[in-house]
Structure 1
Amino acid sequence: MVRKPALMEKVAFTSTLRSEGVAARLGVLLGISFTVALVTGLFSHFLQHPPPWLNWPSRPVWLYRVTQGVHVIGGLATIPLLLAKLWTVYPKLWQWPPLRSAAHAAERAFVLLLVAGSLFQLFTGLLNVAYTYPWSFFFTTAHYWTAFIVYGALIIHVATEWSKVRRSVPVPLEPDRRRFLLTAGAASGLTVLLTVGETFTPLKRLAVLAPRNPGIGPQGLPVNRTAEEAGVGPAGAEYRLVVDGTVRAEYSYEELLRLPQHTVELPISCVEGWSASAHWTGVRMRDLVAGAAPDAVVTVESSERPSGAYRVSELRPPHWNDPLTLLALRVNGETLHLEHGYPARLIAPNRPGVMQTKWVKRVTVS
């Protein structure tokens, strides 16, 4: 007979709040949450890095605002559920013997991937929306690939545990276990309430946990990357916007102002979850590149330092042809603040804020 080490004998897991039913219910909630996060996260990723054959639609204008808000706020709300789930099942980590067979070893390996990957995704995601990066890797790439590892491990875990879920979920919980589950759910709901205002502006006063309040910043709009961080100074009289490629032109700032001006209401929707609507005034992109082929790709380039990860962004035909897509010169009736891209910035519907290029100096039609 294999005897447990003395340390194992001293560990007691006697809480009556733990049960298969509690673990199964938390697992179902986490499965739903992780599925929503994967779908919305992939939508965001492929909006930012679309394959050549994929032209995302520009309408509805609010779509990215909703999907990314759900992705970030839902991810934050998942943290209390994950912690409750881990507390419920962690005694299984101390099972003895730890590996009973090859199949059991494989099952535990996938559980390890699921737990470690889930913690990595949620807590690095939390630090990302707080603009804190105590690591050297590129968050976007790590977050993207880890998502597939976690979801693959989740599918395998669901397959191995499904019989327990079907057996235990229909059975009513005892009052103390039901209260524990409701407490975890309430913590998750409170997280939503205290962050959703960063996307749903009527509740912005409640967004005390949100890293960006949508009403704070120059001209009432938040700023992620400042002009100083981008190495951009005020544009002088020498500023020229160059249109290059199959369409060629050059404009001073005053000449841009004399072109037909249009005003649209569009949100800035950041990948970190916050969004804020504003009235933008400027030149329609399709007017600026008039004469471009219908299937042309328009590249917008910023004057920020070449090291900027999103210094250049692409506009595929659905976006540059949309009358709502502007080279904006004004916001809410005022000349653009330098922090918002003066003298000119891109604003387009259904598009991540990181791709709404500021301090535009060149537009290339290819």
Structure 2
Amino acid sequence: MRSRFLPPVFNGRLHDARTATSIGRWLGLAFAVCFVTGLISHLLQHPPVWAAGGLPSRPVWGYRLTQGLHVASGVAAVPLLLAKLWTVYPRLFSWPPVRSVRHALERSTVAVLVAGAVFEVATGLLNTAQWYPWPFSFTAVHYAVAWLVAGSLVLHVAVKAPQIAAHWRRRSPGTLALPEEDGPDRRSLLAGVVAAAGAVTVTTVGQSFTPLKDFVLLAPRHPDHGPNGLPVNRTAAAAGVGPIAVGRYRLTVAGPRSYELTLDELRGLPQYEAELPIACVEGWSKSAHWTGVRVMDLLDLAGALPHARVRAVSLQTRGGYRVSEMGYAYARDPLTLLALRLNGEELTPDHGFPVRLIAPNRPGVLQTKWVGRLEVLS
């Protein structure tokens, strides 16, 4: 006798559309915040040609806010995504697997959505710890898959819109709801999921929202831990920067009137102070007190035009982001400095001694350390 496939039987309650919709609302919000803030981060790190010159340098805390929200919403999405998958996984065993063209479209978008969502959350978490156990570029692939997840999510919501609408309200009408006695169980489940999302957020967000820094238990770094009272992502040793002798250092400013400055000459120029945050793509950020020479003054000495872009070149010998470019809005902002001091002390080697770039509303990976050359671009 030919055997017949018998799908598994799930006796657990709450694997229903009402519970999935309730969790999906919060998960959708977390994904939306993560996606929008991720686009902002990508735009600031890799601006298209048409926008490179005019990206705004204000508000000074802009990138700190958006990147902090990006990582916080991504962390909060972890328990929400797991709970969402728990509510719907019995549908993987529904039989027959495809019942119509519409059903096939729904299942294919769900497969892409689940795979992409798990990939984004997992790689994003590993990025916060700066662990990259894969052979591809995290930035490029994470960005591309984000669009894939966004597109499949929009298509999935469009396909499931009638069911979502039916279960959106607090009390679903008629037979769409589980029996009333399941109400307390659903509320307990949802409360537990929200509590888990809140707990992982509170114990990590302090790395950027410093009023909660004392609760940083799960974040890879503390905003107060590091030389000069500030964390460090890439050390001088990791970047291949050895000891720099003060007497041999030269800053080259290449422009219509190129020139060089020794470290003592830089120190002899008018010094300005700025309270600016440094915010890294891994999710940590902190405001610090910087002292140095305004980039706009160095550009004026080089005869740069008002709307000229600037390229900062590091002395580092290996690793990414050795070179960064600034549009005129950054270069001419009076808060953009070639910093010589941090929090009242001379820069340490790991923070970019003898000279590093610091500018408002700019990703930390573009705040070039160990600057040896400024180039005026037409």
What interval of TM-score do these two structures reach, taking the shorter chain for normalisation? over 0.9
* Correspondence for 1:323: 334
* Correspondence for 1:15: 12
* Correspondence for 1:267: 277
Offset at 1:96?
A: 0.8
Offset at 1:234?
A: 1.8
Range with bigger deviation, 154-163 or 344-353: 154-163
* Correspondence for 1:27: 24
* Correspondence for 1:38: 35
* Correspondence for 1:231: 240
* Correspondence for 1:314: 325
Secondary structure at the residue paired with 2:282? coil
Q: In the alignment, is residue 143 of structure 1 matched against residue 152 of structure 2?
A: no
Offset at 1:169?
A: 2.1
Contact 2:27 2:77 in 1 (8 A): yes
Query: Alpha carbons of 1:247 and 1:202: their partners in 2 closer, same or farther (altered >3 Å)?
Result: farther
Offset at 1:163?
A: 1.1
* Correspondence for 2:261: 251
* Correspondence for 1:240: 250
Work out which of the residue numbers 224, 228, 234 in structure 2 matches 1:219: 228
Offset at 1:337?
A: 0.3
Give deviations 1:271-299, integer Å, cap 9, x for gaps: 01100111000000000111311110100
Looking at structure 2, the residues matched to 114 and 127 of structure 1 have their Cα atoms a distance apart, in angstroms, of: 20
Offset at 1:249?
A: 1.3
Contact 1:262 1:283 in 2 (8 A): yes
Aligned counterparts, 1:84-95, within 5 A: 84-95=83-94
Contact 2:271 2:291 in 1 (8 A): yes
* Correspondence for 1:301: 313
Contact 1:4 1:96 in 2 (8 A): no
Range with bigger deviation, 164-173 or 202-211: 164-173
Range with bigger deviation, 140-149 or 193-202: 193-202
Work out which of the residue numbers 188, 199, 205 in structure 1 matches 2:208: 199
Looking at structure 1, the residues matched to 197 and 88 of structure 2 have their Cα atoms a distance apart, in angstroms, of: 19
Give deviations 1:188-227, integer Å, cap 9, x for gaps: 0111110111111121110111111100011110000010
Looking at structure 2, the residues matched to 346 and 103 of structure 1 have their Cα atoms a distance apart, in angstroms, of: 54
Looking at structure 2, the residues matched to 246 and 152 of structure 1 have their Cα atoms a distance apart, in angstroms, of: 48
Q: In the alignment, is residue 340 of structure 1 matched against residue 351 of structure 2?
A: yes
Offset at 1:3?
A: 7.2
Give deviations 1:37-56, integer Å, cap 9, x for gaps: 11100000010111122121
Looking at structure 2, the residues matched to 360 and 351 of structure 1 have their Cα atoms a distance apart, in angstroms, of: 16
Aligned counterparts, 1:181-200, within 5 A: 181-200=190-209
* Correspondence for 1:50: 47
Offset at 1:245?
A: 2.7
Looking at structure 2, the residues matched to 244 and 4 of structure 1 have their Cα atoms a distance apart, in angstroms, of: 77
**Residue identity opposite 2:270 in structure 1:** P
* Correspondence for 2:5: 5
Looking at structure 2, the residues matched to 22 and 297 of structure 1 have their Cα atoms a distance apart, in angstroms, of: 53
Contact 2:31 2:73 in 1 (8 A): no
Contact 1:21 1:169 in 2 (8 A): yes
Contact 1:21 1:171 in 2 (8 A): no
Range with bigger deviation, 127-136 or 117-126: 127-136
Looking at structure 2, the residues matched to 199 and 87 of structure 1 have their Cα atoms a distance apart, in angstroms, of: 31
**Residue identity opposite 1:232 in structure 2:** V
Secondary structure at the residue paired with 1:107? helix
Contact 1:198 1:274 in 2 (8 A): yes
Q: In the alignment, is residue 133 of structure 1 matched against residue 132 of structure 2?
A: yes
* Correspondence for 2:296: 286
Looking at structure 2, the residues matched to 26 and 203 of structure 1 have their Cα atoms a distance apart, in angstroms, of: 26
Give deviations 1:219-264, integer Å, cap 9, x for gaps: 1100000101000012112110000133411000000000000010
Work out which of the residue numbers 170, 173, 189 in structure 2 matches 1:180: 189
Secondary structure at the residue paired with 2:361? coil
Range with bigger deviation, 288-297 or 310-319: 288-297
* Correspondence for 1:106: 105
Contact 1:241 1:361 in 2 (8 A): yes
Secondary structure at the residue paired with 2:281? coil
Query: Alpha carbons of 1:158 and 1:339: their partners in 2 closer, same or farther (altered >3 Å)?
Result: same
Give deviations 1:118-152, integer Å, cap 9, x for gaps: 00000111111111111111100010000010000
Secondary structure at the residue paired with 1:229? coil
**Residue identity opposite 1:288 in structure 2:** L
Range with bigger deviation, 88-97 or 242-251: 242-251
Q: RMSD value over aligned CA atoms? A: 1.3
